[in-house]
């Protein structure tokens, strides 16, 4: 991570985004390879939101 921050700080034309971390490349490539619904389901599961129908319920 330090290398990417250093590169961004010292570059004459820094990019808007840099891939940092072990899963960064996978996280940017996978959405193009799997169907939208599968990607949304995996993302929701990863952040702990559960299934789509459960998330639409208003909290008490």
Q: Is 33 inside a domain boundary?
A: yes
Count of residues making up the chain: 60
Q: Is 2 inside a domain boundary?
A: no
User: Interhelix angle for 24-33 vs 36-47, to 10°?
Assistant: 140
**Would the pLDDT of 60 be above 80?**
no
Structural domain for 41, as ranges? 22-52
pLDDT value of position 33? 94
Q: Is 28 inside a domain boundary?
A: yes
Average pLDDT for 40-46 = 89
Per-residue pLDDT of 2-13, as tens digits, reads 888 888 899 899
**Would the pLDDT of 50 be above 80?**
no
- Count up the domains in the chain and report the number: 1
Q: Is 17 inside a domain boundary?
A: no
Q: Is 29 inside a domain boundary?
A: yes
Q: Is 27 inside a domain boundary?
A: yes
pLDDT value of position 23? 85
Q: Is 38 inside a domain boundary?
A: yes
Average pLDDT for 36-57 = 79
Instruction: Classify each residue of 9-31 as buried b or exposed e, where b means 16 or more C-beta atoms within 10 Å of its C-beta.
Output: eeeeeeeeeeeeeeeeeeeeeee
């Amino acid at each position: 991570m330090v290398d990417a921050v250093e590169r961004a700080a010292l570059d004459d034309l820094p990019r808007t985004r840099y891939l940092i971390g072990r899963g960064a490349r996978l996280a940017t490539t996978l959405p193009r390879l799997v169907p939208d619904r599968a990607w949304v389901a995996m993302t929701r599961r990863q952040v702990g939101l559960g299934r789509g129908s459960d998330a639409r319920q208003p909290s008490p």
